[in-house]
Chain A
C-alpha cells in the first residue's frame, strides 16, 4: 500500500531534519569511554537547536539553517566520557558546515542493553538489600531471594520513592510496580516454598491483615509483632511463638520462608474459600466453532486431532501422576452441542441446546470428565466431530451463549476453570450478545475513534462479571477472515484474566504450527484460578490504579478468574502521607488462588524500597523499561476514553516534564540548549517514541481495527520484557552470527540505515519474526539458508526455514527456535526480501526511522522532546 504520511509532530516542521533518511551506516564513532561507573551525575547529551529567535545564544555556532546536529569529527559518541568530559555545548570552535544530528550520537538502546549485560549479567542478583535496582530485563541473571521478591515477580519504575507527594508530583515520575505473581522461573531458581500454618491459617496483622513477612518486627521477646505496614501490634499465636536471638531476630528465622524470603506461599484454610468450602479441581472446557468457515479451513479437524494428544499434558501439580483437571467439550454454530463423554458410555452422546437466548447446561454427569477414565469415549468424540459437521452449511455463529454455557457448566460442577473457545466470525446469529459490524476506519483521528476500542454492548461486561464470580477464565482463539470485533469479543477474556490469540486469514499450511504451539503452551502453562490479588503498602503510599487483564469490584482487590504465568498486573502508587528515608516503603502483594489441583493457596511477594528526599536519588534509581511498561498501559487505557491525539500529547508532555524536572533539579548547570538526560532514563525518548507510533496510538492504513484492539489488550497484560521487545524490536544480523558458538550476534539498532544489502537480518518483537534478506546477499548464504540458488527464487510465503544440513542454516534455525521458546507466544516467521512488497511491513518495525503512518524518527522525536523540555524550562 502507498505510504500515507501522518500528521507531522508538533514542531517537526520547525526543527525537523530532512525527510530523507540515510540508507547507509554512518562511519563508526571514534572510540571513547562509554557510560562510566558513576551513575548519579547528569549525563551530558546533546545540544538542542536554538530557538530561531535566539540568535545570540552562545555555543550554537555549528547550528545553522535551522537544522541541528553535532559535528561529526570531534564529537565523541553519545554518552561518551561524560564524567568530567568537557561540555561540548560550550566548546568553542569554528563553525562547522551544517550537519544533521548524528544517529550514532544519540542514546542507543543496543548500547545500554549490552552494557547492562556485561556489567550485571555475571553476578547473581541478591535481593537482601532494600531499594536495589535490578539488572535490565534484557540481561540474563540469576536471582537469590534474601528477603525481597525477585524482579521476575515485581519490577518498579523506581526503587527510590520520593518522601513526599510534592516531590513525586514535581518529578512526574510515575510510581508503579509491574507484578507477575505466578511468573515462571528459570530452572536454576527455586519456586516459592509452600508454608502450612495448619488450621489457624497464615499469621496476619490484626489491623491491616498483612501476611507474616520478613519485615515484621518481633517485640517483647517474640510474644508480639509489630506490623511493618500499619505499625499495629499483634499477639503472636501460641503455636507460632519463638524466642528471639540477641539481634531481635527469631531463632527460627532461617527455617521459615515467610521470615527470610521475599516470595513464598501459604496453604489457605477453608476461610479463604468460596462458600467456606474447599474448591474442587478446576475444569477445562474446549468449545469449538463448527460453522462452515471453521470446518472448511480444516481448523475443526486440526483442533480435534491436536486435543487427542494434548489432553495428556494438562497442568499437574508438582509431582502428581495425573492432572486433576477435568475436561469437557462443546461445539457450536448457531446452536450449542454438548457432549456426554462419561466413561461408561460406548459412544459419546450429543446434546443440542438451541435455546441460545436462555443458555443452560443440559447434562451434569458425563460432561466434565477425567481424561484417563474417559479416554476412549473422548477419542471417539474427537474422531467424530469433524465428520459430523463435514457437510455443514451453517455460517452464522453465536458467541455470548458459548461463554454462558461454559460458565453454567462450571457453576453446575461447582468448580473454577478455563474455557478454550475457538471462534471464527462475528456473532451475528440471533442470540444474546449478538454483534453488528461497526468497523469504520473513517473514525480514525476523530473524537469517536475511542468507540472502536470500546465494546459495542455492555452485555459482555456483565457476563465477564459473572464469569469472574465463578472463576471461569476464558481463553479465546480467533480465526477471522474479516472484522469480528475483537474489542467486544475480548471483553470477557480480558476481564477474566484469559488470553486472546488471533490468526487472521488462518491457513492450515502456514498457520498450523503457530496455532498448535500457542494452543499447547496455553493448555500446559501454569495457571491459578479464582484468584484475588491485593497489594498492601506501608503507610504513606497506596496502590491507586491497576492495569491488566482482570476485574475489580472494589478499589483494592484485583480479581482474576484465571491467572497464568505470563499475566502481569501493573500497579500505580500514590502518596497519601510522608515517607521516611529510614523505614523506606514496603509492598506486599498477596495472591489468593486455586492451584491446578484445586488447592487453595496464598502467594506472597514482598518488596522493600528506599525513600529519598533528593530528586537525584529518584532519577538514579529508575528503570526505563518498567516506566515504558506503565506508560504504554496507561496510554492504551486512555484511548478508551480520550481521543488518541490527546493521549499521545499527554504522554509526550509527561515525559517532557520528567526530563525537564531532572534537568532543572539534578543536572549540573549547562547551556539551556543542551539536552541532558538522566542516565537511567536516557532511553526514555526512543522508547516513548516507539510507544507513540505503535499501532494503537498511530495506526498505519494497513492496520485493522481488530489488530489495534488485539494489540491493546495484549500489551495491557504484558510484563516488562515483553513490552521492551514489543516496542523496540530486536534486530539481529544473522550473517554476523558465529556459527560455532551458542551466542546470539550482537543486536543492532532498528533503523534502515543499519541494514546492509549484503546481509540477512532477523527482527523479532514477541509476536513476529522477520527474516530480511538484502538484495546483495551472497548466493552461497541464500543457498545455505533457503535451499534456492538465487535471491529471486526465495519464496516469501515460507512460514518456516527449510531444514538444511549446513552450519549457517542450523545456526539460524537454532536462533529462531531459541527466540520462539523465549516468548510466551509462538512468533510468526515472515521472510522479507529487500525491495519486495512485504518490506513495507518490515520497515514498520524499524522504529528508529520515520514511519509511513507519520511516526517521527528517533532523531526527530528527540529534537521534539528537547524543544518541549526547553519550553518547560523557560
Chain B
C-alpha cells in the first residue's frame, strides 16, 4: 500500500466502496468534529470482471439479530471447525459441507481477496423479466411514429423469454391483451377515475378465477405460478403481434384543445396489473409520455390551454394547485411499486415540462430511469432508450431487480441512513442510529432496479464513547449484503465486507486527515445537500453547505489569524472547496433558470450515479484543443476561453463543443477544406471524436451542443465556468479593474 490514493482506488475497484474517511475517528465526539460525516458511496453491483460467482449459499452467523455472512475478517478455528463472527463475536459451527476445511483448504469467502464475493442461490421459481410499456398516444404524429419505431425496435433487444405488456393512454387508458388471435382486444379504463388495485384486478379479470376443483386431481403445486396473464406474454411468442399492434397505434382521437392525458390512471393500472400478477418479480414499467398529465388523479396541469404548467415561481407563491395532490398520487404509486419490487422508468419527451416534478418519486423510489428529451424523434431519446437494454461484458443485461441491501456494522458504528434510488425496509436493529441522514431508521433498503453503476450514499455514526477507547490497532468493519435478481433471473447475493482502522483524532489527526477522500466526501456532502434541497428552502441549504465548508477549513486548514493569504489546506483537502464552489452553482441546488422538471431530472441522476459521474456533474470537465499542444484539461474558468482554442465541456447532461473566436472565423472561411490546412481539419475533428466517445457510453445520452464564440448556445458553457473575468467583475469582486483584459 503506497499511498492513500492508491488504497482508495484499489478499494473502489475491488469492493465498489469509497469512504469519506479511510481512518476512522474513534469516538462520537471526535467524529462529529470532523464535519464531514463518516460515510461511503457504495456501488452494490459494481462490474467485476474477475469475480466469478460461487454456486452455493453463504454461511450466516447464527445469532438471529446478526446473521452476518462469513467473511475474510472472521477468526476461524480450523480444528474445531468454528468461526467467530467479527460483528457480534458469536462463535458458529461450520455447516457440514465445510467439514474438509483447513488452513490450506479454505473456502473462497475466507480469502482476503474475496472481501467482495457473489453467491448464486437457488430460491423459489425463476420468473422471466417483465417489461410493461405504458405509452402516451397524445403525441404529434411524427413523435408517435418515432416512438412506435423505437418500441418495435426494443422488442428485438429484450431477452427472448421476457414477458411484455402494453398499456396505451390518452383520454382513456387501454390495456392490450396480447394473447389473442384475429381480433385485437384491449381493456379500456376511464382516465379520470382512480381505481384501487383490487378494482383494477377485478376489471382485468386477474382475480383468482373460480376454477372448479376437479376431484381426483391434485391441486396445482404452488411453486409453479400460472403465468396466465393475458396482458403479459413472452416476447418471442407475440413479437409479430405486438409489432403490428404498435404499428396500428393511433393518436388519441378525442377532439380537445389540450390533449387529455391520463398518465396517473395509466400508471396506476400498470402498477395494479403487475401487483396482481407478478409481485416480487423483476419488472420494469416503462412510461413514455409526451406531455403533462392533464386529467384524473395525478393531473399536473388543467386542460385549459391558458393556464401554463407550474413554474418555480408558482411553487414559491404556493400557486401550483395540482402539485401536492399529484405528488401524493405518484408517491403512493411509487411506494406500492417498490413494495412489489417493480420499477418505473419515465421517458418524457416534450418541449415543455411533463410533470417530472410530481412523478419523480416513481423513478426515484423504485430505481427506475428518468429520461428527459425534447422529442421522441431525437437521437437523444432513441439512443438512450436503446442503451437501457445494453449488455455488459459477459453478455448479460446491465440491469438487476428487486435488490435489498442489508448493512451490518461492528459495534462502534451505527447506520444513520442512505441516499439513493431506494426505499427503507424499516429494519430496525441494534446497528441503526437514532440520528437520521437521508433515508434512515433502518439497516435495510430496497432497490427495485439497479445497474452496475447505481451508487448509494450510506451514512454512519460513530457511537463509541470518548471515555471507552478502542484498543490500539482495532478495526471497524462494515458488511454490505445485497440480495438481488440478476438479469438472468437468478437470485444472487453479493457480500462486501470492509474494515478500516480506528485512530484517535487527538493524537493521530494527521492519519485521519491523510486518509480523507475529498472526492467521495464532496459527493457525499452534495448528496446530503441535494437531499435537503428537496424539502428545504434553497438558501438554507446553501448556508448549511457554506457553514460546513467553513467548519472543515477551520478544523483542517492552517492559517494565521487575519491573514487570508496564509491559508493552506493539505493536499487531501485541496480540491474540496472547489467542488463546493461549483456545487453551489450547480442546477442541483440552484433552481434559477431551470424548470421544476429540469431540477427534478438533474437531482434524480445525481442521486444515483457513481463517484466519477457525480463529480462531473458537480464540476464539469473542460478540455482545451489548440495548436499549442495535445488536448488538455483546463480550469473551469472564464479565463480558459481563448480565441484560438476549441473547448469541450462535459457536464454529464450536456456535451458542449465551443469554438473560440478565431477558430470559428477560420472555420467559416473554410480552411478545413483546404488540403494545406489539414491540421486545422484535424483540430476541428479531435473534440468531435472525443465527444462521440462520451456520447457512446453515457446513460442517459447527453445533449450534444456544438457552438462557437458568440453563438446563442454558448450560454451552456458560459453559465458553468467560474466568472473570474466578466464585464463587471470589478464591481462584483471589489478588485482592481481588469477591464482591459476583456
Residue of A nearest to B184 (CB): A349
C-alpha spacing A837/B151, complex, angstroms? 70
Does B190 count as interface, using CB distance less than 8 angstroms?
A: yes
Across the interface, B172 reaches (CB within 8 A) one of A345, A347, A349, A362, namely: A362
Across the interface, B186 reaches (CB within 8 A) one of A352, A355, A388, namely: A352
C-alpha spacing A353/B195, complex, angstroms? 14
C-alpha spacing A364/B253, complex, angstroms? 7
Knowing A363-B253, A364-B253, A364-B254, say if A354 contacts B204 (CB, 8 Å).
yes
Determine if A358 and B254 form an interchain contact, defined as CB atoms under 8 angstroms apart. Answer: no
Determine if A381 and B183 form an interchain contact, defined as CB atoms under 8 angstroms apart. Answer: yes
Contacts of A335 in B (CB 8 A): 203
C-alpha spacing A503/B227, complex, angstroms? 42
Determine if A350 and B184 form an interchain contact, defined as CB atoms under 8 angstroms apart. Answer: yes
C-alpha spacing A360/B255, complex, angstroms? 16
Does A384 count as interface, using CB distance less than 8 angstroms?
A: yes
Chain A 354-396: CB-based contact to B (< 8 A → 1; otherwise 0): 1100101011110000000000000001001000100000000
C-alpha spacing A355/B265, complex, angstroms? 13
Determine if A351 and B183 form an interchain contact, defined as CB atoms under 8 angstroms apart. Answer: no
Interface residues of B in 168-224 (CB under 8 A from A): 172, 174, 177, 182-190, 193, 195, 199, 202-205
C-alpha spacing A481/B172, complex, angstroms? 37
Determine if A347 and B253 form an interchain contact, defined as CB atoms under 8 angstroms apart. Answer: no
Across the interface, B182 reaches (CB within 8 A) one of A347, A352, A354, A364, namely: A347
Determine if A350 and B174 form an interchain contact, defined as CB atoms under 8 angstroms apart. Answer: no
C-alpha spacing A96/B549, complex, angstroms? 136
Chain B 139-180: CB-based contact to A (< 8 A → 1; otherwise 0): 000000000000000000000000000000000101001000
Determine if B193 and A354 form an interchain contact, defined as CB atoms under 8 angstroms apart. Answer: no
Knowing A354-B202, A358-B190, say if A365 contacts B253 (CB, 8 Å).
yes
Contacts of B255 in A (CB 8 A): 364
Across the interface, A351 reaches (CB within 8 A) one of B174, B199, B248, namely: B174
Q: How far is the CB of B736 from chain A (nearest CB, A)?
A: 71
Interface-centre pick from B177, B183, B193 (highest chain A CB count, 10 A)? B183
Contacts of B250 in A (CB 8 A): 365
Determine if B189 and A388 form an interchain contact, defined as CB atoms under 8 angstroms apart. Answer: no
Give the size range of B's interface with the partner. 20 to 34
Determine if B205 and A350 form an interchain contact, defined as CB atoms under 8 angstroms apart. Answer: no
Determine if A349 and B186 form an interchain contact, defined as CB atoms under 8 angstroms apart. Answer: yes
Does A315 count as interface, using CB distance less than 8 angstroms?
A: no
Chain B 237-275: CB-based contact to A (< 8 A → 1; otherwise 0): 000000000001010011100000000000000000000
Determine if B174 and A354 form an interchain contact, defined as CB atoms under 8 angstroms apart. Answer: no
Residue of B nearest to A334 (CB): B205
Across the interface, A350 reaches (CB within 8 A) one of B183, B189, B203, namely: B183
Chain B 382-424: CB-based contact to A (< 8 A → 1; otherwise 0): 0000000000000000000000000000000000000000000
Residue of B nearest to A351 (CB): B188
Interface-centre pick from A338, A351, A365, A381 (highest chain B CB count, 10 A)? A351
C-alpha spacing A347/B186, complex, angstroms? 14
Contacts of A362 in B (CB 8 A): 172, 174, 188
Determine if A355 and B253 form an interchain contact, defined as CB atoms under 8 angstroms apart. Answer: no
Overall SS of chain B's interface: mixed
Does A678 count as interface, using CB distance less than 8 angstroms?
A: no
C-alpha spacing A355/B205, complex, angstroms? 11
Knowing A349-B184, A350-B186, A388-B183, say if A355 contacts B174 (CB, 8 Å).
no
Knowing A355-B195, A358-B190, A364-B253, say if A349 contacts B202 (CB, 8 Å).
no
Does A348 count as interface, using CB distance less than 8 angstroms?
A: yes
Determine if A354 and B186 form an interchain contact, defined as CB atoms under 8 angstroms apart. Answer: no
Across the interface, A347 reaches (CB within 8 A) one of B184, B203, B254, namely: B184
Interface residues of A in 382-437 (CB under 8 A from B): 384, 388
Give the number of A-B contacts (CB < 8 Å): 58
Contacts of A360 in B (CB 8 A): 172, 190
C-alpha spacing A360/B189, complex, angstroms? 9
For chain A, the count of residues having a C-beta within 8 Å of the partner chain is: 21
Across the interface, A352 reaches (CB within 8 A) one of B188, B190, B193, B199, namely: B188
Knowing A335-B203, A364-B254, A384-B182, say if A354 contacts B190 (CB, 8 Å).
no
Residue of A nearest to B175 (CB): A352
Contacts of A348 in B (CB 8 A): 183
Residue of B nearest to A385 (CB): B183
C-alpha spacing A348/B186, complex, angstroms? 12
Determine if B190 and A347 form an interchain contact, defined as CB atoms under 8 angstroms apart. Answer: no
C-alpha spacing A388/B183, complex, angstroms? 9
Q: How far is the CB of B424 from chain A (nearest CB, A)?
A: 35
Contacts of A345 in B (CB 8 A): 248
C-alpha spacing A640/B589, complex, angstroms? 74
Residue of A nearest to B253 (CB): A365
C-alpha spacing A358/B265, complex, angstroms? 15
Determine if B184 and A352 form an interchain contact, defined as CB atoms under 8 angstroms apart. Answer: no
C-alpha spacing A351/B188, complex, angstroms? 6
C-alpha spacing A350/B174, complex, angstroms? 11
Residue of A nearest to B188 (CB): A362
Knowing A362-B172, A364-B253, A365-B253, say if A351 contacts B186 (CB, 8 Å).
yes
Determine if B203 and A354 form an interchain contact, defined as CB atoms under 8 angstroms apart. Answer: yes
C-alpha spacing A102/B303, complex, angstroms? 82
C-alpha spacing A354/B175, complex, angstroms? 11
Determine if B188 and A353 form an interchain contact, defined as CB atoms under 8 angstroms apart. Answer: yes
Chain A 644-687: CB-based contact to B (< 8 A → 1; otherwise 0): 00000000000000000000000000000000000000000000
Q: How far is the CB of B355 from chain A (nearest CB, A)?
A: 24
Determine if A384 and B253 form an interchain contact, defined as CB atoms under 8 angstroms apart. Answer: no
Contacts of A353 in B (CB 8 A): 187-189
Contacts of A384 in B (CB 8 A): 182-183
Determine if A355 and B183 form an interchain contact, defined as CB atoms under 8 angstroms apart. Answer: no
C-alpha spacing A348/B182, complex, angstroms? 8
Contacts of B195 in A (CB 8 A): 355
Q: How far is the CB of A336 from chain B (nearest CB, A)?
A: 9
Contacts of B199 in A (CB 8 A): 355
C-alpha spacing A350/B182, complex, angstroms? 10
Residue of B nearest to A340 (CB): B184
Determine if B193 and A358 form an interchain contact, defined as CB atoms under 8 angstroms apart. Answer: yes
Determine if A352 and B185 form an interchain contact, defined as CB atoms under 8 angstroms apart. Answer: yes
C-alpha spacing A349/B172, complex, angstroms? 15
C-alpha spacing A128/B190, complex, angstroms? 60
Knowing A335-B203, A364-B253, say if A352 contacts B183 (CB, 8 Å).
no
Interface residues of A in 28-83 (CB under 8 A from B): none
Interface residues of A in 306-335 (CB under 8 A from B): 335
Determine if B183 and A349 form an interchain contact, defined as CB atoms under 8 angstroms apart. Answer: yes
Contacts of B185 in A (CB 8 A): 349-352
Residue of A nearest to B209 (CB): A393
Chain A 134-156: CB-based contact to B (< 8 A → 1; otherwise 0): 00000000000000000000000
Contacts of A358 in B (CB 8 A): 190, 193
C-alpha spacing A335/B195, complex, angstroms? 16
Q: How far is the CB of B180 from chain A (nearest CB, A)?
A: 8
Contacts of B204 in A (CB 8 A): 354
Q: How far is the CB of B522 from chain A (nearest CB, A)?
A: 52
Q: How far is the CB of A288 from chain B (nearest CB, A)?
A: 15
Contacts of A351 in B (CB 8 A): 174, 185-188
Residue of A nearest to B193 (CB): A358
Residue of B nearest to A345 (CB): B248
Residue of B nearest to A365 (CB): B253
C-alpha spacing A338/B185, complex, angstroms? 10
Chain B 525-554: CB-based contact to A (< 8 A → 1; otherwise 0): 000000000000000000000000000000
Residues on A lying within 8 angstroms of B by beta carbon are: 335, 338, 345, 347-355, 358, 360, 362-365, 381, 384, 388
Q: Mind listing 13 A-B residue pairs with CB under 8 Å?
A: A350-B183, A352-B186, A352-B187, A352-B188, A353-B187, A354-B187, A355-B189, A360-B172, A362-B172, A362-B174, A363-B188, A365-B250, A384-B183
The 7 A-B residue pairs with the shortest CB-CB distance in the complex, in nearest-first order: A362-B188, A354-B203, A352-B187, A350-B185, A365-B253, A351-B188, A349-B184
Known contacts A348-B183, A353-B189, A355-B193, then 5 further A-B pairs from the complex at CB < 8 Å, ordered by chain A residue:
A350-B185, A354-B187, A360-B190, A364-B254, A384-B182
Residues on B lying within 8 angstroms of A by beta carbon are: 172, 174, 177, 182-190, 193, 195, 199, 202-205, 248, 250, 253-255
